[in-house]
A = this chain, B = another copy of it.
């Protein structure tokens, strides 16, 4: 952990972020840390009951906690209605992004017909195509390729080796991690005599504001219309978003998930890791899809949807699996037994 930034006093933190300070205002902290790892310059936190037992032994200078835990400790503390969100903001305060020098690196290749804000930073070996736009204070990491007529919004950061295909748009305050590919062709192929003909993918990929996308995730451009990632969507690593998908605002998607073509995901949904959403279906707002779950039909009611099998010791699994592979037969046997039992019951009367 990096503790090179200047410290903040608790008073300064509360002045910026709100919350109720209980304890000496001039205590200063440099970093955030879990209760059991915190040292005397760290601000720690309690976001759920599970870790309450660690409160007593912590060496943290102060602790962020929820209103219900207000009196769980005598330590200096900041009480917040949402301690995890408070932690996020306090950590951002203590860990400001490294300053970036504006300007275009000598090794970058920027087309003269591109428009790059003077406050933007274009890293080494970056390519910016004709007609592309790079917004104010945007940071384009080393080796990124920004296609013709693409646009990157203000205050957005692309880490090294991100690719944005021609015509695609990334909104403001976004973060794209390394290896992200925005706007590659969707998987559109037409069969003819046992061969595949490519269906040109003439739509775009459009990302709203405040979107974060994890490393090596891919968002395809639309086949005809656009693929749309709305404002505030957060995506983890190695996710596939196919052509013409719409992901509603403030939805979060965990790693290794895949969303097939033309699926529409609602707002404020949570899609678990390795979940797979079939194409051409709709998932309503506020739906929660469990990890490793495959969704094949539209979901029209908010709620939790699951479809995973947790592992078992090999022999147990194989026994259940063998039975599963006879499950249809088992169902028929039960029906037959039922009928025979009813016949016997008739006689017994």
CB under 8 Å from chain B, chain A span 297-349: 297, 299, 301, 303-314, 316-328, 330-331, 333-334, 337-338, 340-341, 344-345, 347-348
Complex CA–CA separation, A179 to B196 (angstroms): 23
Specify the chain B residue showing the minimal Cβ separation from A305. Answer: B311
In-complex Cβ contact of A303 among B32, B224, B313 (8 A) = B313
* Contact pick for A141, options B31, B145, B185, B276, CB 8 Å: B145
If the complex has contacts A34-B225, A190-B84, are A238 and B236 also in contact, measured as CB distance less than 8 A?
A: no
Decide yes or no: A310 and B328 within 8 Å by CB, A225-B34, A237-B240 being known contacts.
no
Query: Does A95 have its Cβ within 8 Å of any Cβ on chain B?
Result: yes
Q: Enumerate chain B residues within 8 angstroms of A321, measured Cβ to Cβ.
A: 309-310
Structural contact, A310 and B294, CB atoms closer than 8 A:
yes
- Known contacts: A181-B215, A184-B215, A306-B318. The answer to whether A294 contacts B294 by CB under 8 A is no
Q: Contact check, B143 vs A197: say whether CB atoms are below 8 A apart.
A: no
Name the distance in Å between A17's Cβ and chain B's nearest Cβ: 11
The answer to the question of A169 belonging to the interface, with a C-beta cut-off of 8 Å to chain B, is: no
Q: Mark A77-108, 1 if CB is under 8 A from B, else 0.
A: 00000101101110110010010000001010
Interface residues of A (CB under 8 A from B): 1-2, 31-34, 37, 82, 84-85, 87-89, 91-92, 95, 98, 105, 107, 109, 123-125, 127, 141-143, 145, 147-148, 159-161, 163, 165-167, 175, 177-179, 181, 184-185, 187-192, 194-200, 202-204, 212, 214-216, 218, 220, 224-225, 232, 234, 236-238, 240, 242, 250, 252, 254-256, 258, 260, 268, 273-274, 276, 278, 289-297, 299, 301, 303-314, 316-328, 330-331, 333-334, 337-338, 340-341, 344-345, 347-348
